[in-house]
Chains A and B, each alone.
Chain A
Amino acid sequence: MTDQRTPLVEMKNISISFGGIHAVDNASVDLYPGEVVALLGHNGAGKSTLIKILSGAYRRDAGEILINGEPADIHNPRDAKKYGIETIYQTLAVADNVDAAANLYLGRELRTPWGTLDDVAMEAKAREVMGRLNPNFQRFKEPVKALSGGQRQSVAIARAILFNARILIMDEPTAALGPQETAQVGELIKQLKREGIGIFLISHDIHDVFDLADRVSVMKNGQVVGHARTEDVTKDEVLGMIIMGKVPPKAIPGPGAMQMA
Chain B
Amino acid sequence: MADTTNTAHFNRARSAAENPVKRFFRATEIDTRLLGMVGAMLIIWIGFDFLSNGLFLTPRNLWNLSVQTASVAVMATGMVLVIVTRNIDLSVGSILGFVGMIMGVLQAELLPQVLGFNHPATWIITLLAGLSLGAAIGALHGMIIAFLNVPSFIVTLGGLLVWRGATWFVTSGRTVAPMDATFRLMGGGTEGSIGATASWIVGFLACLAIVASIINARKQRKRFGFPRRPVWAEYFLSGIGCALVLGAVAIVNSYPWPANIARKYAEANGIAWPEGGLFIAHGIAIPVLIAIVIGIVMTFIATRLRFGRYVFAIGGNPEAAELAGIKTRWVTVRIFALMGMLCAVAAAISTARLNAATNAQGELDELYTIAAAVIGGTSLAGGMGTIAGAMLGALVMQSLQSGMVLLGIDSPLQRIVVGVVLVTAVWLDTVYRARAK
> From residue B298, how far is it (CB to closest CB) to chain A in Å?
14
C-alpha gap A78/B328 in the complex (Å): 12
C-alpha gap A116/B307 in the complex (Å): 10
Specify which chain A residues have a CB less than 8 angstroms from the CB of B322 in the assembled complex: 77
A93 touching B324 by the CB < 8 A rule? yes
Given A77-B322, A107-B324, A124-B224, check contact A117 B317 (CB 8 Å): no
Is B325 an interface residue when CB atoms closer than 8 A count as contact?
yes
B383 touching A97 by the CB < 8 A rule? yes
B320 touching A94 by the CB < 8 A rule? yes
Q: Looking at the complex, which one of A78, A95, A109 makes contact with B316 (CB distance below 8 Å)? A: A95
> From residue A164, how far is it (CB to closest CB) to chain B in Å?
16
B323 touching A116 by the CB < 8 A rule? no
Specify which chain A residues have a CB less than 8 angstroms from the CB of B383 in the assembled complex: 95-97
Q: Which residue of B lies closest to A78 (CB)?
A: B325
Is A200 an interface residue when CB atoms closer than 8 A count as contact?
no
Q: Which residue of B lies closest to A79 (CB)?
A: B325
Specify which chain B residues have a CB less than 8 angstroms from the CB of A95 in the assembled complex: 312-314, 316-317, 320-321, 324, 383
Which residues of A69-117 have CB atoms within 8 Å of chain B's CB atoms?
76-78, 81, 87, 89, 91-98, 102, 106-109, 111, 115-117
Given A76-B325, A78-B325, A115-B305, check contact A106 B224 (CB 8 Å): no
C-alpha gap A81/B325 in the complex (Å): 8
Specify which chain B residues have a CB less than 8 angstroms from the CB of A76 in the assembled complex: 325
Specify which chain B residues have a CB less than 8 angstroms from the CB of A94 in the assembled complex: 317, 320
B325 touching A138 by the CB < 8 A rule? no
Is B315 an interface residue when CB atoms closer than 8 A count as contact?
yes
A109 touching B304 by the CB < 8 A rule? no
B224 touching A120 by the CB < 8 A rule? yes
Is B226 an interface residue when CB atoms closer than 8 A count as contact?
yes
Is A147 an interface residue when CB atoms closer than 8 A count as contact?
no
B305 touching A117 by the CB < 8 A rule? yes
A109 touching B309 by the CB < 8 A rule? yes
Total cross-chain contacts (CB, 8 A): 81
Is A123 an interface residue when CB atoms closer than 8 A count as contact?
yes
Is A161 an interface residue when CB atoms closer than 8 A count as contact?
no
B309 touching A93 by the CB < 8 A rule? no
C-alpha gap A107/B324 in the complex (Å): 6
Is B319 an interface residue when CB atoms closer than 8 A count as contact?
yes
> From residue A92, how far is it (CB to closest CB) to chain B in Å?
8
Which residues of A142-159 have CB atoms within 8 Å of chain B's CB atoms?
143
> From residue A51, how far is it (CB to closest CB) to chain B in Å?
12
> From residue B2, how far is it (CB to closest CB) to chain A in Å?
12
A117 touching B321 by the CB < 8 A rule? no
C-alpha gap A96/B319 in the complex (Å): 11
Q: Looking at the complex, which one of A92, A107, A120, A121 makes contact with B325 (CB distance below 8 Å)? A: A107
> From residue A105, how far is it (CB to closest CB) to chain B in Å?
9
Is B326 an interface residue when CB atoms closer than 8 A count as contact?
yes
Is A135 an interface residue when CB atoms closer than 8 A count as contact?
yes
Specify which chain A residues have a CB less than 8 angstroms from the CB of B220 in the assembled complex: 120
Given A77-B324, A96-B383, A106-B324, check contact A111 B313 (CB 8 Å): no
C-alpha gap A58/B239 in the complex (Å): 54
C-alpha gap A93/B316 in the complex (Å): 10
Is B384 an interface residue when CB atoms closer than 8 A count as contact?
yes
Is B22 an interface residue when CB atoms closer than 8 A count as contact?
no
> From residue B291, how far is it (CB to closest CB) to chain A in Å?
23
Q: Looking at the complex, which one of B7, B221, B317, B324 makes contact with A120 (CB distance below 8 Å)? A: B221
Q: Which residue of B lies closest to A80 (CB)?
A: B325
C-alpha gap A57/B309 in the complex (Å): 21
> From residue A193, how far is it (CB to closest CB) to chain B in Å?
24
Is B3 an interface residue when CB atoms closer than 8 A count as contact?
yes
Is B433 an interface residue when CB atoms closer than 8 A count as contact?
no
Chain A positions near chain B (C-beta within 8 angstroms): 55, 57, 76-78, 81, 87, 89, 91-98, 102, 106-109, 111, 115-117, 120-121, 123-124, 135, 138, 143
CB-based closest 3 A-B pairs: A97-B316, A97-B383, A95-B316
Given known contacts A57-B323, A107-B325, A111-B306, what 13 new A-B pairs fall within 8 Å (CB)? A77-B322, A91-B319, A95-B314, A95-B317, A95-B383, A96-B316, A97-B384, A98-B309, A102-B309, A102-B313, A109-B309, A116-B300, A120-B223
A-B contact pairs, 6 of them (CB 8 A): A77-B322, A91-B319, A93-B320, A95-B314, A120-B223, A143-B316
